[in-house]
Amino acid sequence: MEKYLWWRDGVIYQIYPRSFMDSNGDGLGDLQGILSRLDYLVELGIDAIWLSPIYPSPDADFGYDVTDHTAIDPRFGTLADFDQLVAETHRHGMHIILDMVMNHTSDQHAWFRESRSSRDNPKRDWYLWRDRPNNWEASFGGRAWEYDRTSAQYYYHMFLKEQPDLNWRNPQVRKAQLEVFRFWLERGVDGFRLDVFNMYFKDAAFRDNPRQFGLRGFNRQKHVYDCDQPEMLPLTQELRAMLDSYPERYAVGEIFLSPTGRAAEYIGDQKLHAAFSFDFTASELFFPWSPAWVRKQIERREALFAGERWPTTVFANHDLPRTASRYCRGEDDAQAKLAMTLLLTLRGTPFLYYGEEIGMRDVPLRREEIQDPPGKRYWPFYKGRDGCRAPMQWDGSEYAGFSTVKPWLRVHPDHFQRNLAAQRSNPDSLFNWTRKLIALRKEIPALRKGEFVSLASPSGTLVYQRRSAGQTVQVMLNFTRKPIQLQIEAGAEPEKWTPLLSTGFHENSRSWILKPNEIVVLLSTQPAPPVKASPQEKR
C-alpha cells in the first residue's frame, strides 16, 4: 500500500501562538506554552502544526507585519526555544509548518527603513515607489498608496500602510526571500503556509483596475492588476524545486480574493503542493448553511481538484468567524458536529483551527476591546477578527487554564462550561467526536484517499460515500431537527454495513431513520449499491 504522507493524509492544526498557551505569565501565548501542549495534540491525533507568525513584529497586523523573517519575537521565545519546538514536535511524531509573510514587511523592517531613507538608496527598488498613485485600493480600507514626505513619493501597500509591499521583480528581493525559506528548511521546518502568495507580483505598468459595483472602495474594483500576475507561476516552480531538494517538505498557499478555480491553477507536481480553497467558510448571512449548499461546494471542489491537484478542507482560521459562531444556535453543538464530520470525511487535507475541536465561539467584545485594525475602522458594520482569536479554553478556571494573569484578549465567558477538561470527560462532547473521527481517518484508507461519490437523498440530508478498492465508507448527515427516513436499496441491507460512528442510530430492514441532527458513518467491505433517496420524510 502507498505510504502515509503527512501533509496529504494527515490533519493539520493551526495554532495562533499568542492565544494557545502562556508559559511565562505575561498574558500572551508563547513557544514554551506550545511545547507544554504537544501531548494534547498527540491525544487529538494531529499530524502537523501550522504556527501563525512568530517573528518580531510591531503588531500593526498582529504578527503579519514582520520586521525580521529569520528571528523569533522575544515575547514568544528564542531561536533556541524554536529549535526545541521543532525537535520535540518531531519526537512526538508530528510535523511543523511556518507562516511565511512574504508579500510585504513591516514599515519598521530594516529593508523598508533603508528604502524610504532616500530615492537613491540601494534598497529603494525593494519596495514599490511611484510619483503618482493609480486607483488601487487597500484591502483594509483607503487608498493603497501612502505619501512619504522625506522622499516625496508614494509607496504601495495592499494591507495597512504599516505593511509596505515588496517588489518581487527585483532579483535581490527574490534572492533574499528564497534565502529566508532556506534558513527555516535548514532548521528542520517541514513546510510553509504562504500568506497571500497570489499578491506577490503586481502589474509592471501599474494600470488602473477596472471598476465594478461594490459597497466599499476595495470592492468597487476588479482586482485584475494587483494580484495573480503570470510571474507567480515560475516562482512557485522555483520554490517547489527548493522544497523538493529536502525530503517530504510542503507548501500551501493562501489565495487571497481570487476564486477557487484560480487556487487550483497554482498547484500540481511542479508547483505548490496545495492552496486553500475557502469553500466552506461563507457567512450564513449570504449562504445559508444547508445540505444543498454544502453539496454544491463539494461538487465544484471535486471537479477542480482532481488528478495531481490535492484539495484542502478549511472551515475556520484566524481571519474568519468561528464555525460554531456561523452555524450553531446558542451553545448547541449539533451543527458544529456536522461541520466537523465534513471536515474530517471529505477528500482533502483537513485544516483544524485551534479550539474548533471544543466548539469555541467568537468572543463577544465591546468596541473599546477591539484590537484588529479593520475592526476598528469598520465597526459596527464589521467587527474585525479578534472574535476568533481568543485564548484557548483549556479548563474552567478564571483564565481558562491559558494563563495565570489577564490575557491579551478577553477569554470567552462560556469557558466555565465549554472547555477541554469538561469535554474530555463527556463521551458525547464535540472533542470526543473530533478525536474519534481523526482516529477513523487514520485507520481507514477510504476516508483518506477514497473517491468521493455523492448520493441523492431527501431534502435536509446529505449522503455520500468515499470509495477505495475493497472499502466503502458511507456518511449520512441529517441537518434538520426532525427525523428523516432513508430507503435502503436491495443489496445494501444494514447487515452489510458496520457502523463506525453515530450520534445514536436506528435501522430496520428497509430504511435508515436518521434522528434529528444525526450523523452516521458506516463501513462496508463488500461491493454495495448505495442507499437511495426517499422522497417522503417521516415526521
- Give the residue numbers annotated as catalytic, written as ranges: 195, 254
Residue (159 or 305) nearer to ligand GLC, CB: 159
Window 44-63: residues binding ligand GLC (CB under 6 A): 61
For residues 100 and 97, what is the distance between their CA atoms, to the nearest angstrom? Answer: 9
How far apart are CB 20 and ligand GLC at their closest, in Å? 16
Residue 377 Cβ vs ligand GLC, minimum distance, rounded to whole Å = 13
Per-position x/- string for 289-318, each x denoting binding to ligand GLC as judged by CB under 6 A, each - no binding: -----------------------------x
Distance CA 197, CA 255 (A): 6
Closest alpha carbon to 128 in 31, 25, 202, 217: 202
Contact between 30 and ligand GLC by CB under 6 A: the answer reads no
> Which of 50, 55, 64, 112 contacts ligand GLC by CB under 6 A?
64
Distances (CA, A) of 284 to 85, 321, 327, 329: 38, 10, 7, 12
Site string for ligand GLC, 239-258 (x = CB under 6 A): ---------------x-x--
Give first-to-last CA distance, the chain, whole Å.
Answer: 46
Q: List the x/- string, 65-104, binding to ligand GLC by CB under 6 A.
A: ------------------------------------x---
- Binding mask 179-208 toward ligand GLC (x if CB under 6 A, else -) reads ----------------xx------------
Query: Smallest distance from the beta carbon of 364 to ligand GLC, in angstroms?
Result: 21
Residues that contact ligand GLC, how many (by CB under 6 A): 10
Nearer to ligand GLC, 21 or 138 (CB): 138
DSSP 124: G
* Closer residue to ligand GLC in complex, CB, 66/267: 66
- The minimum distance between CB 79 and ligand GLC, in angstroms, equals 23
Give the residue closest to ligand GLC by C-beta. Answer: 64
195 or 333, CB closer to ligand GLC? 195
Query: Are 505 and 486 within 8 A, CB to CB?
Result: no
* Position 496, amino acid: K
The residue (of 138 and 463) whose beta carbon lies closer to ligand GLC is 138
Nearest Cα neighbor of 46 from 516, 438, 520 is 438
Binding-site member from 16, 20, 82, 159 for ligand GLC (CB under 6 A): 159
466 by Cβ neighbours in 10 Å (0-12 / 13-18 / 19+) ranks as buried
d(CA 188, CA 219): 40
Q: Which residues contact 462 (CB under 8 A, 6 or more apart)?
A: 291, 294, 295, 475, 476, 477, 479
Residue 351 interacting with ligand GLC (CB under 6 A): no
Among residues 539, 109, 61, 3, which one has the least CA distance to residue 318?
Answer: 61
CB nearer to ligand GLC: pick between 101 and 447: 101
133 preceded by a cis bond (ω within 30 of 0)? no
Q: Which residues contact 291 (CB under 8 A, 6 or more apart)?
A: 457, 459, 460, 461, 462, 477, 479
Tell me if 107 contacts ligand GLC by CB under 6 A: no
Cell 474585525 locates to 384
Binding site for ligand GLC (CB under 6 A): 61, 64, 101, 159, 195-196, 254, 256, 318-319
